[in-house]
Amino acid sequence: MNFPELRPFQIEAFRSLKKNQHTLLVAPTGSGKSLIFQKYLQEHARTVRAVMISPLNALARQQARKINVLGIEAKLGVGVGAENPPSGPGVWVINPERLVANERTFFSNWQPNFLIVDEAHCIWEWGEGFRPEFKKVL
């Protein structure tokens, strides 16, 4: 996948990720936030074990498809037919409930080294009652 030229805020966030710093990016919908972690995943495809937490199953499916297109194994851990994490490097796209229910065995067995929280604004917009398990994750 070719990435378009990144804007200044995207470059700053990407540089932060490359330095292995905790990075919080808040930007409007459609501004290209996903490009940043997709580029990072692609550059670290052989070593990254990422967890992507998405509060919306439809968006989780969309993200898993996009990551697979990058040539990175993405397993969808939500909905009917939910999968376990990849056996090696890759991305496990899950909802907060799945993470909380599996966190002990998950972290000790698969040992992720990168966390992506997608669509976190839903908590602020719809309130903590929308997905109460997010409080246990964050």
Residue 82, token pair as written in the block: 């939910």
Integer Cα distance of 90 and 73 in angstroms = 5
82 three-state secondary structure: coil
pTM of the predicted model, to two decimals?
0.86
**pLDDT per residue as tens digits for the range 9-50:** 999 999 999 898 888 888 888 888 889 999 999 999 999 999
**pLDDT per residue as tens digits for the range 94-123:** 988 888 887 777 777 888 999 898 877 777
DSSP for 43-79, written as a single string = HTTTT-EEEEE-S-HHHHHHHHHHHHHTT--EEE-SS
